[in-house]
């Protein structure tokens, strides 16, 4: 092990330690300590072991040195893993020592999250001395695991990562999976513990083994080949039809699961899923504006509030005033489903009105102006002048229930179906738009506006169309939000709605419909079933925006078309997405003939 | 639309119903409506306010007072706006998290101010303690600005424009919530030495003792910055990089270093602004950076982004508009406590400047699409 590698390992260890201390100071370690994942291992351990693990993993990965890919030797990877672990632990130990020395109450008067409980977690519920020593082997082992992971052959590594991910996910979904298994009359006491609510050790091991086996079997085999009947069978006659049948069955099965979902998971989770639906609509709408047309809209909340307030006014919502309820000066008592087309039309018109004056602005300016529009919309809806129409800061209530005949959509289970229907509609529209003439025009405009214009695309028309369509879909989310609880206050329409929707499509992958679904499920659904995470939602969204943009700008589920049709220009155009390795000479981009 | 040849061979397809609708100059129509609406609202508001009679009449001392408040506020905005303008000039990028750089300085210096107030040091030697607070705040803001540059922006220097903007939004959210997690969500009262409490009266115009201090400090800060950029070698390197990054690096200028210096300058000025702002308004919180951040960005755009005198001018103009505007427009129509609506003024000015004159007062019109 040479000196440079040693220095790198120490640096990695320091970064790992800083990561752990950050999680401790921001309060996440203590907050997540109530949530068991497997046995008595709580989610907080993911935060204590995660930073050193990642640091050691990054150090042990193959790296480019003097223009050549070099994998770290086994001994070096493990040594640096050990050093990372020790240094990280040392930093945490120094932190705990400092807190003891200064006095916990003094520290607490500045850093709110430093509590006796936090110290207890870090010393494994022993007295500080020697308790802090017990932490050392655990952290070192975590870092060693990180260092060892890149040493494993790829065939073993990938199933291990997938299986660990599945175990973690099962542990996180502890409020969702067990009730569903109960509904299906599947014995589940072996899988989940009744005491800690997390997975039992046996359950975790079984889940790990099963996933490992499946991933092991599936790797290097394309699913399409398997369905068609063995490798190379894809080109045989009849194979295409077979694939199509299986796909159809798959879609039908997915549909059936979606329809049965609320009865499987119970009202609480169904309510959460309905909420995911609202944000899914916002994500799909923003995806049209940002993902398809490439116009960064930071004031998307404007359409959310337009949808919500227009619905409330049209369906007979009442104003909250200090004298009691009052009808808005302008309003109707339409059925929700009759009001929806009007709401959508209004939102589309507002989209055009917002879009028209700012069309000539370049991307980043457009973002800031739309942010201004979003805030202005909030001020207007919450203002005292408009309080006879929108209720001012007190908002509106008694918004008429969406109902078909006697079938009300206000209960959790029924609302889920309303949200599902709206989302299916929006996803279908997005999907059809993507490949249509309009979608391709947006694509062209996003990639290069001048070239698009030169090819005869009226950019003004298509930009306005994007604003109108995006606004219309977003207003559906607002309408859904208005009828979901039947009341509105202006506090629900802050800039954070826009940023949440943005985080959803960035995480999932801009321009990708499955990506938006995944993004909404992770960012809205997961905190819904994991209450301790809710306090850190915005913090996580901020981190997601940074990390995804730097490490994986195409998102978790990239747009299929872009990855399938990757040819020369697109590779070049996306070249910035690949991090420039150390020592590599960056290619001058855009100058080549 | 069809691509088939037309009968007369001109290639012009007779427009259908939709086609005719499309030819409407939507942009011009919306802009005209906007202009008319604006003139009516602003003109009507001012007229009604100035013609208020009797007990409601607002004398000139009232307006002079507002102008003084506005100038002090505007000086703080100008300091923050310089951070936006410097970074924009060098990297052509909006550092959306700059408002949070400002917030971190204010928040950390608060703990020092609190300790000094408790020990009586703040009142024993107010100027020394303010100097220490300024140093602390500048150090913290600079540190955060450097971290931002290193972690969030440098890896994306060659990425499409919107990408660093998105990380900047993420960083802003992240910093806000990190500080909330570290230090708690509730606002804290920022102490002020007794020497600077109370008001001064010059004739009928009276103003907060803090106001002249703020104004003078900000002016000194801007003056030093201007000398730095105009006279020193590093300043010249900054101007060269902002002209053309590639050519500058061919001339032997270390672009990375110049970018770092730019972020340091922005951080230092934000740190100064943070203490002045916190002491004037008497409180700090994790979300305090958002509105001043947007206001300062507006000031930078208003003056012409990329221009240092522009940021100073934009800050002062915006500060005065924010303090005078709500009263001038709204007193006439009897809206209670118009000062609370100053954020609306900021946003409206931002939107209107970007729509009608994206280059700003002193700018080159560069903000228009390339």
User: Can you tell me the ipTM of this complex?
Assistant: 0.88
State which residue of chain B sits closest to A371, comparing Cα positions.
B347
User: Cα separation of A454 and A411, whole Å?
Assistant: 53
Residue A36 bridge partners (DSSP): A42
Task: State pTM to two decimals.
Answer: 0.88
Helix (H) or strand (E) holding B368: none
> What torsion, rounded to 10 degrees, do the Cα atoms A425, A426, A429, A435 define?
-130
pLDDT of residue B15: 42
Domain that holds residue A279: 267-559
Whether A360 and B161 lie within 8 Å, measured CB to CB: no
User: Cα separation of A139 and A149, whole Å?
Assistant: 16
Sign of torsion over alpha carbons B35, B38, B42, B48: positive
CB environment A121-143: b (16+ within 10 A), e (fewer): bbbeeeeeeebbeebbebbbbbb
How many Cβ contacts (< 8 angstroms) between chains A and B? 163
Opening angle at CA B276, ends A371 and B201, nearest 5: 115
Sign of torsion over alpha carbons A239, A240, A241, A242: positive
Residue A325 bridge partners (DSSP): A320
Whether A362 and B184 lie within 8 Å, measured CB to CB: no
Among A30, A32, A110, A491, most B C-beta atoms within 10 A, so best to mutate, is A110
CB environment A336-359: b (16+ within 10 A), e (fewer): beebbeebbebbbebbbbbbbbbb
Examine the fold and report which residue of A151, A172, A203 is the final residue of a domain before the chain moves on: A151
Whose structure tokens read 């109960």?
Answer: A182
Distance from CA of B152 to the nearest CA of A (A): 7
Whether B181 and A384 lie within 8 Å, measured CB to CB: no
Domain presence at residue A355 = yes
Whose structure tokens read 């602003």?
Answer: B42
Whether A553 and B159 lie within 8 Å, measured CB to CB: yes
pLDDT of residue A585: 46
CB environment A262-296: b (16+ within 10 A), e (fewer): bebbbeebbbbbbbbbbbbbbbbbbbbbbbbbbbb
In terms of domains, do A146 and A271 share one? no
Whether A27 and B171 lie within 8 Å, measured CB to CB: no
Whether A506 and B166 lie within 8 Å, measured CB to CB: yes
Helix (H) or strand (E) holding B116: helix B98-119
pLDDT of residue B88: 87
Domain presence at residue A572 = no
DSSP state of A192: B
**Tens digits of pLDDT across chain A (593 residues):** 688 889 999 999 999 999 999 999 998 999 988 888 888 888 899 999 999 999 999 988 887 766 677 777 888 888 999 999 999 999 999 999 999 999 999 899 889 889 999 999 998 888 888 889 999 999 999 999 999 998 888 888 889 999 999 999 998 888 888 888 888 888 888 888 888 888 888 889 999 999 999 988 887 766 666 666 666 666 667 777 877 888 899 899 999 988 888 888 888 888 888 899 999 999 999 999 998 888 888 889 999 999 999 998 888 778 877 777 777 777 778 888 888 999 999 999 999 888 887 777 777 788 888 888 888 888 888 877 777 788 777 788 888 777 777 777 878 788 899 999 999 999 999 999 988 999 999 988 888 888 888 888 888 888 899 999 999 999 999 999 988 888 888 888 888 999 999 999 999 888 889 999 999 999 998 888 888 888 899 999 999 999 998 888 888 888 765 554 444 444 455 555 554 444 444 444 333 33
pLDDT of residue A364: 79
- pLDDT tens string B13-41: 444 444 555 566 766 777 788 888 888 88
Which residues on chain A are in Cβ contact (under 8 Å) with B344?
376, 379
Q: Which of B167, B354, B358 sits opposite A550 (nearest CB)?
A: B167
Q: Is B78 helix (H, G, I), strand (E, B) or coil?
A: helix
State which residue of chain B sits closest to A108, comparing Cα positions.
B183
Residue A70 bridge partners (DSSP): A63
Q: Which of A353, A360, A553 sits opposite B163 (nearest CB)?
A: A553
Nearest residue to A539 via CA among B327, B220, B100, B337: B100
pLDDT of residue A185: 84
Whether B355 and A358 lie within 8 Å, measured CB to CB: yes
Which residues on chain A are in Cβ contact (under 8 Å) with B155?
550, 579
Q: In the structure encoding, which two tokens stand for residue A593, read together?
A: 């003939």
Q: Is A330 helix (H, G, I), strand (E, B) or coil?
A: coil
pLDDT of residue A207: 92
Whether B367 and A576 lie within 8 Å, measured CB to CB: no
Among B35, B169, B246, most A C-beta atoms within 10 A, so best to mutate, is B169
Whose structure tokens read 């951070």?
Answer: B83
Query: Within its chain, how far is the Cα of A563 from the centroid?
Result: 21
Distance from CA of B294 to the nearest CA of A (A): 9
Domain presence at residue A119 = yes
pLDDT of residue A589: 39
Distance from CA of B206 to the nearest CA of A (A): 31
CB atoms within 10 A of CB B76: 28
Q: Which of B26, B160, B162 sits opposite A356 (nearest CB)?
A: B26
User: Cα separation of B302 and B74, whole Å?
Assistant: 12
Among B351, B360, B366, B370, most A C-beta atoms within 10 A, so best to mutate, is B351
pLDDT of residue A125: 87
Residue A361 bridge partners (DSSP): B368
Domain presence at residue A506 = yes
What is the DSSP annotation of A100-167? HHH-HHHHHHHSTT--HHHHHHHTTTS-HHHHHHHHHHHHHHHHHHHHHGGGS-HHHHHHHHHHHHHH
Nearest residue to A370 via CA among A444, A275, A474: A474
Q: In the structure encoding, which two tokens stand for residue A547, read together?
A: 């990390």
Q: What is the phi/psi pair of residue A408, to 5°?
A: -85, 150
Q: What is the phi/psi pair of residue A221, to 5°?
A: -110, 130
User: Cα separation of A219 and A36, whole Å?
Assistant: 31
Are A532 and A29 a contacting pair, CB within 8 Å? no
User: Cα separation of B53 and B42, whole Å?
Assistant: 19
Distance from CA of A36 to the nearest CA of B (A): 22
Which residues on chain A are in Cβ contact (under 8 Å) with B26?
352, 356, 460, 464
Whether B22 and A458 lie within 8 Å, measured CB to CB: yes
Q: In the structure encoding, which two tokens stand for residue A109, read together?
A: 């008067």
| Domain boundaries of chain B, sorted by first residue | 74-289
Distance from CA of A577 to the nearest CA of B (A): 8
Distance from CA of B199 to the nearest CA of A (A): 32
Helix (H) or strand (E) holding A69: strand A68-70
Whether A356 and B165 lie within 8 Å, measured CB to CB: no
Whether A461 and B22 lie within 8 Å, measured CB to CB: yes
Whether A26 and B181 lie within 8 Å, measured CB to CB: yes
Opening angle at CA B178, ends B172 and B184, nearest 5: 125
Distance from CA of A372 to the nearest CA of B (A): 5
Distance from CA of A418 to the nearest CA of B (A): 32
Nearest residue to A196 via CA among A376, A42, A22, A314: A42
Total number of domains in chain A: 2
pLDDT of residue A504: 94
**Tens digits of pLDDT across chain B (370 residues):** 344 444 444 444 444 444 555 566 766 777 788 888 888 888 887 777 777 766 666 777 778 888 888 888 898 898 899 888 888 888 888 888 999 999 999 999 999 999 999 888 888 888 899 999 999 999 999 999 999 999 999 888 888 878 888 999 999 999 999 999 999 888 998 998 888 888 888 877 778 888 888 888 888 888 898 888 888 998 889 888 888 888 888 988 888 899 999 999 999 999 999 999 999 888 899 988 888 888 888 888 888 887 888 888 889 999 988 888 877 777 766 666 666 677 778 888 888 887 777 777 776 544 443 3
Whether B370 and A553 lie within 8 Å, measured CB to CB: no
């Amino acid at each position: 092990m040479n000196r440079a590698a040693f220095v790198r390992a120490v640096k990695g260890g320091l970064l790992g330690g800083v990561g752990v201390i950050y999680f401790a100071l921001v309060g996440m370690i203590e907050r997540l300590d109530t949530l068991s994942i497997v046995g008595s291992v709580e989610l907080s351990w993911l935060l204590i072991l995660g930073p050193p693990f990642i640091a050691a993993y990054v150090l042990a990965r193959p790296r480019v040195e003097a223009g050549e890919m070099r994998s770290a030797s086994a001994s070096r990877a493990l040594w640096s893993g050990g050093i990372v672990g020790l240094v990280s632990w040392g930093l945490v130990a120094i932190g705990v020592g400092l807190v003891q020395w200064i006095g916990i109450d003094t520290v607490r008067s500045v850093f709110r999250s430093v509590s006796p409980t936090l110290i207890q977690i870090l010393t494994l519920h022993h007295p500080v001395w020697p308790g802090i020593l017990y932490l050392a082997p655990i952290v070192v082992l975590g870092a060693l695991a990180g260092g060892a992971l890149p040493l494993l052959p790829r065939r073993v590594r990938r199933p291990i990562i997938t299986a660990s991910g599945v175990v973690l996910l099962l542990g996180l979904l502890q409020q969702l999976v067990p009730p569903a298994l109960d509904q299906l009359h599947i014995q589940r006491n072996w899988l989940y513990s009744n005491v800690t609510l997390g997975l039992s050790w046996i359950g975790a091991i079984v889940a790990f083994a099963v996933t490992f086996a499946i991933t092991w079997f599936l790797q290097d085999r394309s699913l399409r080949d398997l369905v068609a009947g063995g490798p190379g069978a894809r080109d045989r006659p009849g194979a295409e039809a077979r694939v199509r049948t299986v796909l159809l069955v798959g879609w039908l099965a997915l549909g059936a699961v979606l329809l049965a979902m609320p009865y499987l998971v119970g009202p609480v989770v169904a309510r959460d899923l309905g909420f995911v639906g609202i944000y899914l609509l916002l994500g799909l709408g923003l995806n049209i504006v940002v993902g398809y047309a490439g116009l960064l809209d930071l004031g998307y909340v404007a359409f959310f509030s337009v949808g919500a307030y227009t619905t409330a006014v049209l369906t007979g919502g009442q104003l909250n005033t200090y004298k009691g309820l009052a009808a808005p000066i302008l309003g109707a008592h339409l059925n929700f489903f009759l009001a929806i087309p009007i709401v959508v039309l209004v939102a589309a018109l507002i989209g055009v009105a917002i879009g028209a004056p700012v069309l000539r602005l370049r991307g980043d300016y457009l973002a800031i102006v739309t942010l201004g529009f979003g805030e202005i919309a909030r001020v207007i809806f919450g203002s005292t002048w408009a309080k006879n129409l929108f209720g001012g800061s007190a908002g509106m209530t008694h918004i008429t229930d969406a109902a078909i005949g006697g079938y009300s959509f206000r209960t959790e289970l029924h609302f889920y179906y309303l949200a599902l229907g709206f989302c299916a509609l929006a996803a279908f529209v997005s999907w059809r738009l993507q490949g249509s003439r309009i979608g391709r025009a947006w694509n062209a405009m996003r990639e290069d506006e001048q070239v698009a214009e030169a090819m005869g695309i009226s950019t003004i028309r298509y930009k306005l169309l994007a604003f109108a369509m995006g606004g219309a879909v977003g207003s559906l989310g607002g309408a859904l939000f208005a009828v979901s609880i039947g009341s509105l206050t202006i506090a629900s329409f802050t800039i954070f709605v826009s940023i949440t929707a943005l985080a959803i499509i960035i995480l999932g992958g801009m321009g990708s419909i499955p990506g938006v679904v995944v993004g909404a499920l992770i960012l809205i659904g997961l905190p819904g079933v994991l209450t301790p995470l809710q306090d850190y939602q915005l913090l996580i969204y901020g981190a997601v925006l940074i990390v995804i943009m730097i490490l994986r700008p195409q998102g978790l589920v990239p747009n299929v078309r872009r990855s399938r049709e990757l040819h020369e220009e697109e590779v070049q155009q996306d070249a910035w997405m690949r991090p420039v390795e150390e020592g590599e000479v960056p290619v001058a981009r855009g100058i080549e003939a | 639309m069809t691509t088939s040849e037309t009968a007369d061979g001109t290639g012009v397809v007779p427009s259908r119903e939709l086609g005719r609708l499309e030819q409407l100059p939507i942009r011009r129509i919306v802009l005209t409506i906007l202009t008319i609406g604006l003139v009516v609202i602003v003109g009507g508001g001012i007229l009604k306010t100035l013609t208020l009679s009797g007990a409601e009449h607002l004398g000139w001392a009232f307006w002079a007072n507002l102008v003084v408040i506005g100038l002090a506020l505007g000086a703080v905005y100008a300091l923050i706006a310089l951070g936006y303008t410097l970074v924009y000039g060098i990297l052509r990028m909006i550092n959306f998290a700059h408002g949070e750089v400002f917030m971190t300085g204010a928040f950390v210096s608060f703990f020092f101010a609190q300790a000094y107030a408790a020990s009586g040091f703040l009142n024993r030697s107010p100027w020394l303690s303010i100097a220490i607070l300024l140093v602390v705040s500048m150090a913290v803001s600079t540190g955060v600005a450097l971290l931002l540059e290193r972690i969030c922006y440098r890896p994306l220097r060659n990425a499409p424009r919107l990408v660093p903007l998105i990380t900047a939004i993420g960083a802003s959210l992240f910093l806000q919530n990190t500080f909330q997690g570290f230090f708690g969500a509730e606002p804290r009262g920022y102490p002020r030495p007794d020497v600077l409490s109370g008001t001064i009266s010059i004739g009928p115009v009276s103003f907060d003792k803090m106001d002249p201090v703020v104004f003078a400090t900000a002016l000194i800060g801007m003056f030093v910055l201007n000398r730095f950029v105009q006279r020193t070698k590093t300043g010249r390197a900054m101007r060269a990089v902002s002209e053309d990054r590639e050519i500058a690096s061919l001339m032997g200028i270390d672009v990375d270093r110049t970018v770092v210096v730019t972020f340091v300058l922005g951080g230092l000025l934000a740190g100064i602004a943070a203490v002045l702002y916190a002491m004037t308004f008497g409180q700090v919180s994790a979300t305090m950076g958002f509105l001043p951040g947007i206001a300062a960005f507006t000031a930078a755009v208003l003056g012409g982004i990329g221009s240092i005198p522009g940021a100073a001018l934009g800050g002062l103009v915006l500060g005065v508009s924010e303090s005078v505007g709500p009263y001038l427009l709204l007193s006439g129509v009897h809206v209670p406590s118009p000062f609370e609506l100053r954020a609306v003024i900021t946003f409206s000015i931002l939107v209107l400047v970007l729509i009608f004159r994206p280059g700003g007062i002193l700018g080159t019109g560069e903000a228009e699409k390339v």
